[in-house]
Amino acid sequence: MNETKHFPILIPERVEFEKKTESKKCVFDSLTKLLVKNQSEVTKNQIFDALIAREKLGETYIGSGIALPRAHLEITHPRAALLALKQGIKLSSADKQPIQIFLGILLPSVNHDSYSLLLSEFNKKILLEDDLQSIIKSENKEKVANHFDKLLINTI
């Protein structure tokens, strides 16, 4: 029987709560600083450039105040970072809600299409989460990381 090692996708060190962020660029800079933590496969510049390049293809806002910026890079396993804003930022979103939760996700370049399909499933799951806001409001990095990691692991 093959046993696969679980690599956490979201860890507490990559969760941050901020009172206010002025712009989308500041959000991406914060996400990049979080995503570079505890890994040595890619640089801060590679992460930032990949996230911005993907965002230029189309915004990654999924609704309910949540955005999932993502990028495919030469990494061995998926990783994520979460930035929760007390005061969301207004971007051109269909539902006109300020975006308060940014979950940045890096995915391996291999199996690009399968990861994209799985990410689509994750988008649906996260929008159905009833207790998401209360978990975020707890500002408990461990609790937030564990909750999102379980959602991600069960999908990606």
pLDDT (tens digit per residue) in 63-85: 888 999 999 999 998 999 999 99
More confident of the two residues 1 and 90: 90
Q: In the block, which residue shows the tokens 């990691």?
A: 149
d(CA 108, CA 7): 13
Secondary structure (3-state) at 31: helix
Q: What is the model's pLDDT at position 126?
A: 84
Q: What is the model's pLDDT at position 156?
A: 63
Q: Is residue 7 part of a domain?
A: no
Q: How confident is the model over 28-56, as a mean pLDDT?
A: 95
DSSP 58-84: S--EEETTEE--EEEES-SS-EEEEEE
Q: Is residue 50 part of a domain?
A: yes
Q: In the block, which residue shows the tokens 């689509």?
A: 120
pLDDT band at residue 115 using 50, 70 and 90 as cut-offs? confident
Angle at 54 between CA 38 and CA 25, to 5 degrees: 70
Where are any strands of DSSP class E within the chain?
15-20, 61-63, 66-67, 70-73, 79-89, 99-108
DSSP code for 13: G
Total domains in the chain come to 1
Q: Is residue 26 part of a domain?
A: yes
Could you report how far apart the first and last alpha carbons of the chain are, in Å?
Answer: 21
CATH code (residue 75): 3.40.930.10
Q: Is residue 3 part of a domain?
A: no
pLDDT band at residue 1 using 50, 70 and 90 as cut-offs? very low
Q: Is residue 4 part of a domain?
A: no
Q: Is residue 5 part of a domain?
A: no
Name the residue range of residue 93's domain: 12-153
